Chain A
Amino acid sequence: MTFELVLVLAAGLFSVGLFGALSQQSIVMIMMGIELMIGGVIVAAADFWHFLAPAAADGQVVIVVAVVAMAVEMAMGFAVTTALYRARQVDTTDMARELKG
């Protein structure tokens, strides 16, 4: 039963993150929602590895890569947010719509 429980936890994390990403105005808050979503994915991946193929080390590598990617992503995201704020005092997504097609 632990396998399913952990999957439910991962789904919960992902859903909370998704809700945060969709509902929050502040860029920082959205990024936090995204963190939660990626966290859910990582938990799910670890769950699958641990219960379905514990012998292979590949799963661990995937998880480490995902964590590294998440860290880089966050560093980039906060850097952009900081630069945006410095340049234009913008901190919510509705105020930055330059990419309108």
Chain B
Amino acid sequence: MSALLWALIALPLGAGAALLLSGRRWNALAPGLGLAAAAGTFGLAVASAVFRPEASAPLFAGVRAGLRVDGLSAVLVVAVAAVTTAVLVASPGELGPRENRGRFFGLMLLFAGAMTVTVTATTLPPLLMAWEVMGATSWALIGFWWHRPDRVRAADTAFVTTRAADLGLYLAAGAAMAGGVGSLDLTALTGAQGGWRHVACAGLVVAALGKSAQLPFSFWLSHAMRGPGPVSALLHSATMVAAGAYLLLRLHPLLVATGWAAPLVAWTGGVTALALGVVAVAQRALKQLLAASTSSQVGFMVLAAGVGDPSGGTLQLLAHAAAKSALFLAAGAWLTSLGTEQLPALRGAVRRHPLLGAGFVAGALALAGLPPLSLWVAKDEVLAAARAQSPGLYALGLAAAAVAAGYSVKALWYVTRPLPHDHDHDHDHGQEQDGGRRGARGPTRSVSTPVVVLAAAAVFLGVAALPGLSGPLRGVLGGGQQHAPNPWEMALSAAVALAAAGAAWWWLPRSAHAPRTASAGKRWAADWLSMERAARAVLVRPAFALARALAAFDDRAVDGAVHHLARGGLTLARGAARADDHGLDGAVRAVAAGCRRLGAWARRPQTGLLHQYYAQAVVGFTLLLSIVLLVR
């Protein structure tokens, strides 16, 4: 049975790697091959969900790479494969035949494969590897149009932010090792001894919150919007942001065991759901609104993980994945065909493409949490669990649900306006505003179909979780019945959602024509609570300043010493060379010159003339004689 599981992860990873390496060579075939691989993965995922395979392989000494499809994994594996398939169906419309489709489809498959490994991993090492692969491929996908510097910067921001949070996983692995959990098994982490359990839990929570774009880290999602539409659709629904929520759902026993982590996670999720919902309301660009809403909706999943409601969290994850991928695909298609994503410029977008528009409307209504759609049901589950924990959390969640209705209706209101008469002018305006890529193509059927399918899933998934009909899902997830929402709770949340939606619908036409004097609070919310600026001020700038100071120290002190040493050595060598040239060499040369001069003198008497020799002999003898005579 383990062969099934190996195939499940090998198919997307292998096909993705092959497509990625082939690049443009198989550009024409890439969509077909990618789609085939995704569909195959979906089939394998369904089979794994039925047969629940388990596999493991030796990795390090005493640590095995374990993979298992249990209830939670089964649901997620199918969801990941389904959303990936739907997104890949829609992708050719977004990426023209002249783009590097091999790279795109390869990266998408790698990304989905990494997510599959993440949700099936039972030990930390494979989870960590897949987590990293997911981060790296998300970077490559967000920066897919790397000719544009702003997109590359966006990818870098997203990557560095999630990567910084990912360090928590390493910390957790190290703490687990130190705490005596040599197998690094996820379920065994609870057994870590002493303070190491707290360290491991803190690392895992930080990593999960970063990946899920929860509060201190939310701003990277705003930048992640710069990537192609299908990337956003995949990244924001069943993968990446869902990975953090999944990890927290999976590790609920550990959160509870530490005592402090579960409430912390629950409150972080709740506050994120509310705060990022407000941010979403303040956005003027469709994709930015959807991004902030993703963070907000994932907040409900994190809240569910914190209060110990895996089935509610999973249901929320599924419903949100379906709704959000449909919305992002539609937004991406509009950005391609209309050249803008500014809400005022998107008036009447729904009427222009009725099928696509119908999918968008259904998805947005589901996102608003209106009864009887899926997110309403899921949210009620989560809220019921939250109420059991603390009334404050319940109120927070209810407020966040109201805000969710507000931002969904805001998006809905704009796109369902009648077509403006001077829409050409409007287009130009919008284009100026966002400088988007304008394509001449309209959204094709290849985009509309998956959008409609996903939106239908978003609408009808709720049925599976209605109190009377939720038996099968709970059976799969293995969760208890203890948090089934009361009828009055469901009625209350429905009333809140409807009231908020109605208020937003009533208020929007009045605000749209009002002079645009944004208050400071509104600007703050529109700027994603200035989180990025804060991160830059608190972390990035000091880090760069420190790096610069260290670089200067290195240049001046460390490098300088080496340079001075070298320069001193050079000077010394030059002095020695001068001493050698002028002293030793000079002496040798002087001796040689003297010898040569002596030789020249010695040659002078040797005239070759016999008479002169005789004369010299006479002079010599005379001298000798006179010396003898004088000395004697």
Task: Report which A residues bind B (CB closer than 8 A).
Answer: 18, 21-22, 30, 93-94, 96-101
Q: Are A94 and B614 in contact (CB under 8 A)?
A: no
Q: Are B618 and A97 in contact (CB under 8 A)?
A: no
Chain A's closest residue to B610 (CB) is: A93
Q: Are A97 and B614 in contact (CB under 8 A)?
A: no
- Min CB–CB distance A43 → chain B (angstroms): 19
- Min CB–CB distance B623 → chain A (angstroms): 16
Residues on B with beta carbons closer than 8 Å to the beta carbon of A21: 614
Q: Are B618 and A94 in contact (CB under 8 A)?
A: no
1/0 contact string of B581-622 vs chain A (CB within 8 Å): 000000000000000000000111111111100110010000
Counting residue pairs across A and B whose Cβ atoms lie within 8 Å, the total is 31
1/0 contact string of B492-532 vs chain A (CB within 8 Å): 00000000000000000000000000000000000000000
Q: Are A99 and B615 in contact (CB under 8 A)?
A: no
Residues on B with beta carbons closer than 8 Å to the beta carbon of A99: 606, 608
Chain B's closest residue to A99 (CB) is: B608
Given contacts A93-B610, A101-B608, 13 further A-B contacts (CB under 8 A): A18-B618, A22-B611, A93-B611, A94-B609, A96-B608, A97-B608, A97-B609, A98-B608, A99-B606, A100-B608, A101-B604, A101-B606, A101-B607
- Min CB–CB distance A70 → chain B (angstroms): 18
Residues on B with beta carbons closer than 8 Å to the beta carbon of A96: 608, 610
- State A94–B602 Cα separation when bound (angstroms): 21
Residues on A with beta carbons closer than 8 Å to the beta carbon of B614: 21-22
- Min CB–CB distance B342 → chain A (angstroms): 109
- State A101–B602 Cα separation when bound (angstroms): 9
- Min CB–CB distance A63 → chain B (angstroms): 22
Chain B's closest residue to A23 (CB) is: B611
Residues on B with beta carbons closer than 8 Å to the beta carbon of A100: 606-609
- State A21–B612 Cα separation when bound (angstroms): 11
Residues on B with beta carbons closer than 8 Å to the beta carbon of A30: 610
- Min CB–CB distance A92 → chain B (angstroms): 10
- State A93–B615 Cα separation when bound (angstroms): 14
Chain A's closest residue to B615 (CB) is: A22
Residues on B with beta carbons closer than 8 Å to the beta carbon of A97: 607-609
- State A20–B604 Cα separation when bound (angstroms): 25
Residues on A with beta carbons closer than 8 Å to the beta carbon of B606: 99-101
- Min CB–CB distance A14 → chain B (angstroms): 11
- State A22–B615 Cα separation when bound (angstroms): 7
- Min CB–CB distance B606 → chain A (angstroms): 3
Chain A's closest residue to B605 (CB) is: A101
Most chain B CB within a 10 A radius of its CB, from A21, A98, A100, A101? A101
Most chain A CB within a 10 A radius of its CB, from B602, B604, B605, B610? B610
Residues on B with beta carbons closer than 8 Å to the beta carbon of A101: 602-608
- Min CB–CB distance B614 → chain A (angstroms): 6
